[in-house]
Amino acid sequence: MTAALQWLGLAGPTASGKTALALALARRWPVEIVSVDSALVYRGMDIGTAKPGAAEQAAAPHHLLDIIGPEQSYSAAQFVADARRLVDEIRARGRWPLLVGGTMMYFKALVDGIDAMPAADPAIRATIDAEAAQAGWPALHAQLAEVDAITAARLKPNDSQRIQRALEVWRASGTPLSALHLRARREAAPLAGALIALEPASRPWLHERIAQRFDAMLQAGFLDEVRRLRANPALHLALPSMRCVGYRQAWEALDAADPPALADIRERGIAATRQLAKRQITWLRSMAHRHVVEADAVDAETRLAVLVETLIGPPGSRPG
């Protein structure tokens, strides 16, 4: 099994310490880090995404950071194509691809495969948005349940981004999104890898780290970053980039008043990040073949290193 591995994955909820642990691995094994994060792809969104800084990026090669503008979109299918290409390129250099991030849909798409989805259709999206503005997203969720009950069952009634995409796929192709995913699982050639899940045993530990990180973002100039984004006429709240946790809450607060109420932004931003972390943990626990490391263990780094050694060999080992 070890010799057949093509990549290692390090997944976990936001603020679980993925970046620091990935760099700890990079000090012992020849790895290149491939970001598995739907927010880190955007240029100009650095503070609110906790994007690795210059020193961190210098410590190990990083990929899939800053590859598109925030006015553009990036799909799970695009990620799979990019990740497969990078896995081959990194292994050809005699190094291990280490896929690190918290966008569990991307990990799932890489492991299970993903069918070719209809391209984004601005006209269909505009129609769906207009319907939602009039009837509300719960009504659109109910509409989705009539044509794709499987997808609707896993979405909350106010999950506007995913409801919109599922309805868009149905209206563009006449095929439910769930059927495309099922077909992909049947047809995809597997890309063998080992997924390591950083799962904190203590929810309060994670909540405290989320609060500390959001406070650090505010102190680092997060609101100024959002102001610069709002000044770009090509950007608006309906874009996937501006729906990222923290950005949406800050944008809405700046729409209401500038300067905004910092206490309100902090409260709403931390609450939204906690909800994101909860969803990420739920996704992780649905992945049956993952290897779990408790993110809040005092010896988490040592536990991770021991696990990696069992998977790919002692420090310094290179792909076969």
DSSP β-bridge partners for residue 196 = 10, 291
Q: For the purposes of burial, counting CB atoms within 10 Å of the CB of 101, is it exposed (0-12), middle (13-18) or buried (19 or more)?
A: buried
Give per-residue pLDDT as tens, 165-223: 999 999 988 888 888 766 655 555 556 899 999 999 999 999 999 999 999 999 999 99
Task: Please state, in angstroms and rounded to a whole number, the distance separating the CA atoms of residues 183 and 240.
Answer: 26
Task: Please state, in angstroms and rounded to a whole number, the distance separating the CA atoms of residues 11 and 292.
Answer: 10
Q: What is the pLDDT of residue 269?
A: 96
Residue 40 carries which DSSP code? T
Peptide bond into 200 cis (omega under 30): no
* pLDDT at 2 > cutoff 50: no
* pLDDT at 31 > cutoff 50: yes
* pLDDT at 1 > cutoff 50: no
Task: Please state, in angstroms and rounded to a whole number, the distance separating the CA atoms of residues 96 and 193.
Answer: 11
Task: Tell the residue number behind the tokens 């210098």, with chain if given.
Answer: 58
Q: What is the pLDDT of residue 115?
A: 61
Give per-residue pLDDT as tens, 245-264: 999 999 999 999 888 899 99
Kindly report the average pLDDT of the chain as a whole number. 92
Helix (H) or strand (E) holding 146: helix 137-147
For the stretch 227-251, what's the b/e string if a residue is b when 16 or more beta carbons lie within 10 angstroms of its beta carbon? eebbeeeebeeebbbbebbbbbbbb
Q: What is the pLDDT of residue 200?
A: 97
Confidence band for 153, pLDDT divided at 50, 70 and 90: very high
Task: Please state, in angstroms and rounded to a whole number, the distance separating the CA atoms of residues 172 and 175.
Answer: 8
Alpha-carbon torsion, ordered 62, 278, 270, 49, to 10 deg: 10
Written as one letter, the residue type at 238 is: A
By three-state DSSP, how is residue 101 classified?
strand
Stretch 146-170: mean pLDDT: 92
Alpha-carbon torsion, ordered 125, 126, 128, 131, to 10 deg: 170
Q: How many CB atoms lie within 10 A of CB 196?
A: 24
User: Under a CB-based contact definition with an 8 Å cutoff, are residues 32 and 61 in contact?
Assistant: yes
DSSP β-bridge partners for residue 9 = 99, 195
* pLDDT at 15 > cutoff 80: yes
What are the structure tokens assigned to 267, written together?
A: 């409260």
State pTM to two decimals: 0.80
pLDDT more than 90, % of the chain: 79
Give per-residue pLDDT as tens, 89-140: 999 999 999 999 999 999 988 988 766 667 778 889 999 999 999 999 999 9
Q: What is the pLDDT of residue 3?
A: 44
Nearest residue to 223 via CA among 275, 265, 267, 272: 265
* pLDDT at 9 > cutoff 90: yes
Task: Please state, in angstroms and rounded to a whole number, the distance separating the CA atoms of residues 293 and 52.
Answer: 22
